[in-house]
Structure 1
């Protein structure tokens, strides 16, 4: 495999294996994307990325990380996403929507706010929900979801997937990582339920698998469904890579096609051994243990580094975030650096293809 080899997933063929990771922008109003999102995501399309993901896009208003998150819980949001998708397609790119619910990590201030933590109710915040009434760090305590509430979450993901397809998205990704709601159900550190959604791994994975099945049923057989999973909580007694591999296999059987492996996010203040490519071993282990295709992410910053990961078979694709922000046209540059001619330079930029 090479970084610039195409990859086919169901009916979709991606032009290369250098993809744009979901990156929250905290710049929407009432969940509606705007010109910032068009320019942000559109620049990656002109830059030659094989796949572009939206930021974590909330399936309900209650599921937003911050009040400024994008959403896909109503038709106005769907209609605002459509021209962004159209522009990406005009550049020959493909785009996926990451569907998310933040659970107990919802209703927080955006990162550049001078304030931290949960947004109070009288300042535009809202009550949060989780598998159990266990707060994240110093955030406001969530309410434990009822069985009816859990059923509503499944239906919200399903309805969101339909709206994403109606807006023209090529695929969807279910966000089961970074300490958000689906991850909160998976990890024994945040899930202390004693019903069919808590206790055993089978029970803790039940919500994720129900969401996968519901979304697969909604999108049909042609549309790829990705799942993002954290390979570890980086905390004793928490979620780990062995459980990740088991659940990836179960999710594949339930209808998921591809697994986007990251780490962390569930426990505040844990020590993470950050370094170049530090999350690659988790993706590699899941790939081999579960026999599923995976992408990897995390301090992968150069085309050479990304290509080595793919060529060595450690992952099927590479996600980049900060490196793409610094250079949205990094895939075009990578084709030059790696000596791999491509035929999808924008005509307006051909003079730079030297």
Structure 2
């Protein structure tokens, strides 16, 4: 049935329908009460290939929208409802048929020019009019593009008639699906409740475990932990000691630049042999000495806190070891030093005393 049709549908309690050919001539008009979607689809397919559906309402009725989707037709609607005075001129047994015919004619007028061009092109190419018109109208393509698509193998596979929809079977299928989903939801809820109980049990066990005293650590593990902590403290102390040594060295260099201070090595006696770090030695008790240690003193200067005895003075004179006394030892951050002014005063006092002794000896000889 190679006919392209334009249909006009007037849905309602009594549904009117009218069909026009591609020239705009009516080929079938009718109406019936209680027509549903499937019955209207059947009537349309009995008449031919309905590619255009018209309605007299500006707002597309639901029946016409679903009908266009089912049979693969485009729906043409007016910008406003068609007037009743225009419908009276139409032929028909009742106003439902006249409304349907008016809707069909309106849709035809909207697509008349395009249909004529498609028909003329199909005749020139000697091809079927309906498949070409179907592609142009459904896909909104140009006629040439639709012709190229029609000639490809893909077009024959993709351009198919939209199958009718069995709403009863679809509703039954969806109802079964809803029941299955409800059962699945019920199972999910049960599973969720079980998981919630497990979570609560685990939380309770965790709280009880926190209340229990910590297990006793084995001796070997405890010992290793103590060693690690001590080693960590040792490294911290070592870093601290290194920093302090650096500070001490920097401070000593800084203080040595002060000409008013003389930094010395502090010894308690001259009896014990020690490693000398300076040419200036300060001795607390010069009376305690050893000849072995005195023999190691060369190019040094001794400073005493008190005047040495006669015996140590002879030993120092025999070895030409200079000394100064008495001077007071001072400390700054455990760094011993002497004031140069005190050293100078002590040396001047010693020289003055030596001068007095020599003067006295000369006078004694003259007498």
- Bin the TM-score by the shorter chain: under 0.3
Question: How does the TM-score come out when normalised to structure 1?
Answer: 0.20
The structure having more radius of gyration, on CA atoms, is: 2
TM-score (norm: length of structure 2): 0.19
Between 1 and 2, higher relative CO (CA 8 Å, sep ≥ 6) is seen in 1
